[in-house]
Structure 1
Amino acid sequence: MSRTARLLDLLQLLRNRSTPVSGNDLASALGISIRTLYRDIATLQAQGADVAGEPGLGYVLRPGFTLPPLMFSADEIEAIVLGSRWVAAKADDSRLSQSANQALAKIAAVLPAELRHRIEATNLLVARGVTTPSSVDASQIRLAIRHEHKLAIAYRGPDGTESERTIWPFMIGFFDAARIVAAWCEMRQAYRHFRIDRITALHPIAERYPQRRAVLLKQWRADNGIAPPT
């Protein structure tokens, strides 16, 4: 491994951690000696990376430092292309689909020619499935989630019964045949799941819900026995 590649790997290891990580752990992950790690840390700091810490205490990369144009591996490029194409084909939300295509185009624009060719030549295909269309603008749900705002919705249950709810949306699940909003329902005083194609009307409420989105998600995972992503 070249020193440049090693420095990029070291930056990525630090970016993946929000708490200090010991020098021994970093050196072990990179397969280098602790003395080499200290030199690499000093090199990153000299190049402007705000790496805080010192030997014996651990290191953390403070926010604000951006990597130079990345040299993706072939597998990483295929993952980016597949993910972007899946969103473009499956999102059932024109804004999200367009954003996926635009993001992929921006990434391709800053890559060297050889890597850009890999994006264009990748042989991964996402088939378009049949998703029940929705009558509401799903981007409003995503906006409410982003700003942690309540939503007033009219919902048609599987038996056709109509109800009006005030919900605290915190996640959208994308499945082959449906899109599901996970939310706290004020009427039921419990977590509930709402199919977007069964929401017949929605109105944003300019009021933040009282808990943070991350807290709701953590509680929802605990209630459903779902482990957090690694």
Structure 2
Amino acid sequence: MSRSTRLFEIVQLLRAADRPLTARRIAALLEVSLRTVYRDIAALQAMRVPVDGQAGVGYLLRPGFEVPPLNLSPEEVEAIMVGLALLGRTGDSALQRAAVGAGAKIAAAVSRDAGSEAAVPALYASGWNALPRAPTDLAVLRDAIREARKLGVVYTDAAGRRSERTVRPLALLFYIESVVLAAWCELRSDFRHFRADRILACCGLEERFLREAPALRRRWQDCQPT
């Protein structure tokens, strides 16, 4: 992630937060060191971005600060709205709620920038051909991926064999027929893919793998067929 992208992401995180964000939390979300966060916060403050707070307490963005518009093309807006609508298939209620909110923000931004006549595709979160319902909340999986937190899972394979595993979650894959968790499995000492509808139970563990996560994710991506 480039420095300019990282500065933008920090501003976005602070804008979305309803309470001060600690440097440690920002570092975890962006997968960078605390020292990097402190330098980036200082850089933003030097650019007169209204970031208040201090190390060890937390940071917040004073109200009224706006970032420049994204200037999306009509096709880019439509691509985003189609992608948001397809979330209706996943059964992930938290993502569906977020999709509706994101769609409304995009529509408002486009209308504000292009005038009231701007056409934004309506967001219909259809459940047509819905994916198999997962016994566990997909938000738990997404949170663990975002926080680089190990998961304890109870899994049953296609033959009905049940196992308990500790995994390092790396990505969620949304296929036509299922949602799949890509992870490093400590039982097998290798990458494994777990269908979400076969994860009978899971819980976030205290242990995290922040430092290993980027390298693990790159290795997993290198193993994927092109």
Question: TM-score under structure 1 normalisation?
Answer: 0.64
Residue 223 of structure 1 and its aligned partner are, at CA, apart by 2.2
Contact residue 84 and residue 125 of structure 2 kept, 8 A: no
Runs ≥4 residues deviating over 3 A: 14-18, 113-117, 124-127
Aligned to 1:118: 119
* Alignment correspondent of 1:209: 209
The match for 2:79 is 79
1:1-230 correspondence to structure 2 within 5 Å: 67-87=67-87, 89-112=88-111, 114=114, 117-120=118-121, 128-209=128-209, 211-226=211-226
1:201 aligned counterpart, secondary structure:
strand
Per the TM alignment, residue 187 of structure 1 is displaced from its structure 2 partner at its CA by: 0.3
State the aligned residue count.
Answer: 169
Provide closer, same or farther for how the CA distance between residues 214 and 128 of structure 1 changes in structure 2, counting only shifts above 3 A: farther
**Distance of 1:210 and 1:110 partners within structure 2:** 35
TM-score (norm 2): 0.65
Structure 2 unaligned spans of 5+: 8-46, 50-64
- Give, as a single letter, the amino acid of the residue that structure 2 aligns with 1:204: G
C-alpha distance in structure 2 between counterparts of 1:178 and 1:194, whole Å: 10
What SS does the aligned partner of 2:120 have? helix
Amino acid at match of 2:110: L
Report the alpha carbon displacement of residue 70 of structure 1 after superposing the two structures with TM.
Answer: 3.6
Paired position in structure 2 for 1:34: none
CA pair 125-166 structure 1, distance change in 2 beyond 3 A: closer
Three-state SS of the structure 2 residue aligned to 1:112 is: helix
Report if aligned partners of 2:131, 2:178 keep a CA contact under 8 Å in 1: yes
Query: SS where residue 140 of structure 1 aligns?
Result: helix
Aligned-partner Cα distance in 2 for 1:109–1:189:
48
> Relative to structure 1, is the Cα distance of residues 126 and 95 closer, same or farther in structure 2, using a 3 angstrom cutoff?
closer
Between the aligned partners of 1:211 and 1:72, the Cα distance in structure 2 is 34
Residue aligned with 1:152, SS: strand
Q: Distance in 2 between matches of 1:101 and 1:223?
A: 34
- Contact 2:90–2:131 (Cα < 8 Å) also in 1: no
Query: Which blocks of at least 5 consecutive residues in structure 1 are unaligned?
Result: 1-13, 19-47, 51-64
Please say which structure displays the higher CA radius of gyration: 1
Give the conservation status (yes or no) of the 8 Å contact 1:132–1:197: yes
